[in-house]
Amino acid sequence: MKSNSVYKHLMSGVSYMIPFVVAGGIAIAISFAFGYDAFQTEGTLPAYLMSIGGGGGFALMVPILAGYIAYSIADRPGLAPGMIGGVIAGNIGSGFLGGIVAGFLAGYVVLAIKKYIVLPKSLQGIMPVLIIPVFASLIVGLSLFYVLGTPMAVVNKAVADFLSSLSGGSAVVLGLLLGTMMAFDMGGPVNKAAYAFGTSTLVAGQGSAVMAAVMAGGMVPPLGIGLATFLFAKKFTEDQKEAGKAAVVLGASFITEGAIPFAAADPGRVLPAIMAGGAVAGAISMGLGATLAVPHGGVFVLFAVTNILQYVIAIVAGSVVTAGLLGVLKKDLA
């Protein structure tokens, strides 16, 4: 498997995914503008916006990524098993990384079925509509459930226990770890474990330093990437530069998923950069004693932050670190 073909397949999935990330993320950001919890009131505009963004755009994000990776590998027969695998990856909480696995697995399973299952001429018409989608979907789905799904609960519990054991230790170390986790898979199991730990520390009417670090670490990846597309424009495609503008809005709204198209396209360079930035933001936030009294909202809930100047410094520092590392790690495009 040539590396340039892997990149081509990956970019196919990413290019189709970007509009779903942007449309879904902007709808969620507008919903937060009415108040961080306004969407919880059914039948209101914020609730509909959240449904469009979260239940619509973001729900389709991983299936589209997986489906079009598989489509790039195996043409139209790969689309159904790829998208089904993407839905399963989302349902078991494996995030966009699970979606990438599902897409490549589906694509190459379809190629294998085409190569090794030979039907009589009279039955060849059922291959693309019955044999390939059914067998490929079953193989991909069961593989994801058994290989990724079964261990996921065990890993999540272990991570939660580990974070709890650190809560009485160094605040800076805990903030660094939480910021790193928030950036690692952007809505995947590691990110969700850190976020769940943060929300568990909230007490009505009181600010939480842990929750503040979690939100700072989650805001940095899209903000840092958006900054990088401006400072180092030669290192990004035209589509990525446009997506970078939307990423700033998403990052400011604490929608970490805004960084996913960039991380999926170039994980080896983007993931270290955003994890470092998230770590810096989380560590500074905890170290300077910023607290947050609500679980979400980004810039729309700065009124709920104590030591707000220090908090902004933490987010800016993390974003600059991410942008700077991307400037160093990524090569100029030809």
CB-count burial class (<10 Å; 0-12, 13-18, 19+) for 134: middle
pLDDT tens string, the chain, 334 residues long: the values are 566 788 899 989 999 998 999 899 899 989 988 987 889 899 999 999 999 998 999 999 999 999 999 999 999 999 999 999 999 998 888 888 889 999 999 999 999 999 998 888 878 788 888 999 999 999 999 999 988 877 776 777 777 777 777 766 688 999 999 999 999 988 888 888 889 888 888 886 688 999 999 999 999 999 999 999 999 999 999 989 999 999 999 999 999 999 999 999 899 999 999 999 999 999 999 999 999 988 888 999 888 899 999 999 999 999 999 999 999 999 888 6
Which pLDDT does position 185 carry in this prediction? 86
Question: Inter-axis angle of helices 79-91 and 95-116, to 10 degrees?
Answer: 150
* Side-chain-facing half-sphere of 199: CA atoms under 13 Å: 8
Pull the structure tokens for residue 180.
């790193």
Pull the structure tokens for residue 238.
């035209």
Q: 206: how many CB neighbours lie within 10 A of its CB? A: 9
Q: 165: how many CB neighbours lie within 10 A of its CB? A: 9
pTM for this predicted structure: 0.85
Measured CA to CA, the distance from residue 136 to residue 113 in angstroms comes to 8
Do residues 209 and 290 lie in contact, with contact meaning Cβ atoms separated by under 8 Å? yes
Which pLDDT does position 2 carry in this prediction? 60
Residues 6+ apart with CB under 8 A from 128: 76, 77
Pull the structure tokens for residue 139.
């193989």
| Inter-CA distances, 69 with 62, 74, 235, 269, Å | 11, 9, 23, 20
* Side-chain-facing half-sphere of 97: CA atoms under 13 Å: 15
Which pLDDT does position 151 carry in this prediction? 75
Q: Closest Cα to residue 106, out of 141, 153, 61?
A: 141
Q: 111: how many CB neighbours lie within 10 A of its CB? A: 18
Q: Provide the phi-psi class of 35: left if phi over 0, else alpha when psi is between -120 and 50, else beta.
A: left
Measured CA to CA, the distance from residue 219 to residue 241 in angstroms comes to 18
The sign of the torsion formed by the CA atoms of 204, 159, 99, 145 equals negative
Measured CA to CA, the distance from residue 236 to residue 228 in angstroms comes to 9
Give the phi and the psi of residue 292 in degrees, each rounded to 5. -135, 135
